[in-house]
Amino acid sequence: MEELYTLEKEVGRGSYGVVFEGHMAKTGHRVAIKRLPCSNPECIELYLQELWAMRTMGHAKNHLNVIALHSCLLQTGQRSLKPLRPGKLPLRLVESVLKGSMGGAPQSQERNNVQSTTQRRTNPASRLQDRTNTAQGGAKLPDTTKSSTSDSTTPQRPPNRARKRSAQREEEQPGPLRCLALWLVMEYCDGGDLNQYLLSRPPDAQRNHSVVQQLCSAVAFLHSLGVIHRDLKPDNVLVCVTPKGPVVKVADFGLSKMCEGVMDGDRTRQRFSSTCGSDFYMAPEVWGGLSYTAQADIFSLGVMFWAVLERITFLEEGATQEQLGAYVCKGRSGWLMPLGEALWENADLQLCIPMKFKRAPPLPPPPGPAMCALLLDMLASNPDARPPADQLEARVRSALKVDSH
């Protein structure tokens, strides 16, 4: 590793991997390096899905507001790393997913409980194919058991809502064919995630408006490529600090799905069935276990926009750090119900935008009438009533312009 990159320090840890700050050995350029231990087929499928989605975006020329992948390395020994060629998948890992086993790898693993706000679970019956596309960057990584109308083999949200998950680490064992880990080398963001960045600073309306518009642009780009994120939330938006203001980057594509082909002229109309994502940002149809489309991303984005513009925060069960997110208060005890869950239970629920209460001081000015109307459209119970991503940028610009007058 030191011949290519120098690891400096750990900067993040989740259920599936560890992120380090590092530098390119030759240029000294700062990078983020994520180590994903290949401990079981279920985790490996998530890693390959993330790798393929990021490569697809790279082939389409990286968007300013989407995290860029510089390279991917496969670790086969304690000090043995090899770069993966563009357009190629590590066949040993694909084989592990297809067989549902680690090919004779030891079953003993260290388990370390870590905090995670994302509920993820993979169906052991899922399958992957290795397809190399040499003609274009829009290649797909399909499941061999998936129909055109469902993704029932993708990561499943567990029935309980426990906030703690078990992170699995690999005990590195010798062996020429053993795949110990994938290392993803990505651009480094020095401002932390969107929660950390915005809540550590006084509210600023111009900054908030810039963040909202950048996120619109990012999601429009993803959906144009047929990439459905399925876990949009402030934790998965990173920030680069620049003299001209924050540049936000949508990240973490482990739960993303690639739409296969065009349906009625629009790839984003493909339907999915796996219930996955994070409680406070999931759309009503996802909460209800219904099939859903890319419009579920628009609902998640609406929750984020509302939270950013009004500085609405909440504390998750068992956590002490404030998170940006909108919700509905239920009962005298002030129990917080996610918007998606509340709308699933009552599709006619009237959301109060602006909220005017339960906001984190100091308070920014509330969004104007035009922006409030747009937020209500993004948070509509009916997915078809939400604006598609390719229209959202123009609508946000128009709403902000109208409200400024």
What would the pLDDT profile of 236-277 be if each residue is shown by its tens digit? 999 999 999 999 999 999 899 888 655 455 656 788 888 888
CA–CA distance, 91 with 130 (Å, rounded to integer): 7
pLDDT (tens digit, 9 = 90+) per residue, 102-128?
A: 654 444 443 343 334 334 433 322 322
What pLDDT does residue 212 have? 97
Catalytic residues: 231
Q: Which two tokens stand for residue 81?
A: 């790393």
- Which superfamily does CATH assign the domain made up of 5-187 to? Phosphorylase Kinase; domain 1 (3.30.200.20)
Under-50 pLDDT residues of the chain: 104-176, 263
Q: Which pTM does this prediction carry?
A: 0.78
What pLDDT does residue 83 have? 84
What pLDDT does residue 1 have? 59
Q: CATH topology for 194-404? A: Transferase(Phosphotransferase); domain 1 (1.10.510)
What pLDDT does residue 122 have? 36
Residue 205 has φ and ψ, to the nearest 5°, of: -60, -40
What pLDDT does residue 211 have? 97
If phi over 0 gives left and psi between -120 and 50 gives alpha, with beta otherwise, what is residue 58? alpha
Domain layout of the chain by residue ranges = 5-187, 194-404
Write the secondary structure of the chain as one string of H (helix), E (strand) and C (coil). Answer: CCCCEEEEEEEEECCCCEEEEEEECCCCCEEEEEEEECCCHHHHHHHHHHHHHHHHHHHCCCCCCECCEEEEEEEEECCEEEECCCCCCCHHHHHHHHHCCCCCCCCCCEEEEEECCCECCCCCCCCCCCCCCCCCCCCCCCCCCCCCCCCCCCCCCCCCCCCEEEEEECCCCCCCCCCCEEEEEEECCCCCEHHHHHHCCCCCHHHHHHHHHHHHHHHHHHHHCCEECCCCCHHHEEEEEECCEEEEEECCCCCCEECCCCCCCCHHHCCECCCCECHHHCCHHHHCCCCECCHHHHHHHHHHHHHHHHCEEECCCCCCCCEECCEEEECCCCEEEEHHHHHHHCCCCCCCCCCCCCECCCCCCCCCHHHHHHHHHHCCCCHHHCCCHHHHHHHHHHHHHHHHC
